[in-house]
């Protein structure tokens, strides 16, 4: 039985004060470990949020990292820096980086390798554009993103992976994948993962759905057999709505 995993992506929102209050609100509403819960604040608030969440059932993640552990990479943050700031997770390949600033698959692959070997758990995001879905290319896109982004991973690295299926047309748009679309994509991802890393790894893999998840649509998505959680953007910015999704997962 796979434990549900709900992660909140705060993107480039919050101030120091609202991030602290949001973390406090989330921690208050997550009483136990029935569901795995993490929040991914902007870099400047990581240590602050990690301080608030220390000893709680809520973990912290970064929204991105570089593949190098240090170096002349202005504006970047290394996996080790995320660990030092109190992170357990990092998002890699979010569509706002893949498509927003054209991060290529090879670059993402290097990040996944670096982050997992530093000891972080990676939430690796995949998903098709609307035009790709309409052209019936969803499976080709997912297959390519998984095989390129996860190429050459060790068994240890594979054990630190969660996949987030985030159809790009559903992120921040209010459009949610229909349950049958989500289930079909998740089952396909699990099949690709089995071909890449074996049945046992695929059966243990957590696959989150992301794309306009809200408290009122979460239950229907989270009960699908291959949906093991959610990556939540907009609805993660209010403790009440994020907790509504966490509670829908119980």
Residues with a known catalytic role: 94, 166
Q: Tell me the per-residue interface mask from 150 to 169 with ligand PEP, x by CB under 6 A, - otherwise.
A: ----------------x---
Q: Assess 234 for contact with ligand PEP (CB under 6 A).
A: yes
Q: Which residue of 145, 162, 208, 212 would you call a contact of ligand PEP, by CB under 6 A?
A: 212
Does the protein bind ligand PEP through residue 211 (CB under 6 A)?
A: yes
**Burial environment of residue 6 by CB neighbours within 10 A (0 to 12, 13 to 18, 19 or more):** buried
Q: With contact defined as beta carbons under 8 Å apart, do 67 and 113 qualify? A: yes
Q: Name which of 129 and 201 has its Cβ closer to ligand PEP.
A: 129
Distances (CA, A) of 118 to 34, 100, 230, 233: 27, 26, 25, 26
**Among candidate residues 43, 46, 40, the one with its CA nearest the CA of residue 5:** 40
Q: Judging by DSSP bridges, how do beta strands 36-40 and 229-232 pair with one another? A: unpaired
CB-nearer residue toward ligand PEP: 5 or 197: 5
The piece of 97-105, 108-116, 180-188, 204-212 that touches ligand PEP (CB under 6 A) is: 204-212
| Shortest distance, position 9 Cβ to ligand PEP, whole Å | 4
DSSP alpha helix (H) spans, the chain: 16-29, 46-53, 79-84, 95-98, 105-118, 130-134, 138-149, 155-158, 179-197, 199-204, 215-222, 239-248
Contact status, residue 7 vs residue 231, Cβ threshold 8 Å: yes
120: tokens are 């972080």
The number of angstroms, rounded, from the C-alpha of 36 to the middle of its chain's C-alpha atoms is 12
Choose between 111 and 197: whose C-beta lies nearer to ligand PEP: 111
9 binds ligand PEP (CB under 6 A): yes
* Number of residues lying near ligand PEP (CB under 6 A): 14
Distance of CA 80 to the CA centre of its chain: 19
Interior angle at CA 237, CA 2 and CA 57, nearest 5: 45
- Residue of 232, 243, 248, 249 interacting with ligand PEP (CB under 6 A): 232
Least Å distance, CB 31 to ligand PEP, is 24
Residue 213 Cβ, how far from ligand PEP at the closest point, in Å? 5
Single out the residue of 233, 241, 242, 245 in contact with ligand PEP (rule: CB under 6 A). Answer: 233
The one among 79, 127, 210, 215 contacting ligand PEP by CB under 6 A: 210
Distance CA 54, CA 86 (A): 9
Q: Tell me the per-residue interface mask from 164 to 203 with ligand PEP, x by CB under 6 A, - otherwise.
A: --x----xx-------------------------------
Sign of the dihedral through C-alpha 132, 10, 108, 157: negative
Of 108-116, 191-199, 229-237, 241-249, the segment contacting ligand PEP by CB under 6 A is: 229-237
Which residues are at the interface with ligand PEP (CB under 6 A)? 9, 11, 166, 171-172, 210-213, 231-235
């Amino acid at each position: 039985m796979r434990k549900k995993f709900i992660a909140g992506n705060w993107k480039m929102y919050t101030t120091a004060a609202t991030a602290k209050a949001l973390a406090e609100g989330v921690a208050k509403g997550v009483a136990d470990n029935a569901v795995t819960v993490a929040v991914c604040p902007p870099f400047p608030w990581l240590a602050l949020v990690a301080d608030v969440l220390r000893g709680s059932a809520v973990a912290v993640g970064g929204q991105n990292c570089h593949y190098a552990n240090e170096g002349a990479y202005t504006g970047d943050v290394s996996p080790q820096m995320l660990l030092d700031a109190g992170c357990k997770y990092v998002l890699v390949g979010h569509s706002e980086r893949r498509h927003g600033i054209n991060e290529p698959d090879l670059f993402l692959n290097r990040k996944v390798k670096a982050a997992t070997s530093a000891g972080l758990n990676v939430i690796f995001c995949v998903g098709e554009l609307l035009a790709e879905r309409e052209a019936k290319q969803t499976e080709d896109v997912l297959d390519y993103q998984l095989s390129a982004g996860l190429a050459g991973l060790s068994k240890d690295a594979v054990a630190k992976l969660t996949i987030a299926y985030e159809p790009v047309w559903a992120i921040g748009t209010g459009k949610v994948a229909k349950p049958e679309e989500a289930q079909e994509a998740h089952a396909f991802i699990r099949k690709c993962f089995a071909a890449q890393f074996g049945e046992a790894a695929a059966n243990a893999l957590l696959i989150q759905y992301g794309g306009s998840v809200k408290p009122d649509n979460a239950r229907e998505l989270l009960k699908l057999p291959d949906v093991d959680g959610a990556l939540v953007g907009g609805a993660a910015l209010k403790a009440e709505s994020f907790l509504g999704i966490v509670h829908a997962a119980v």
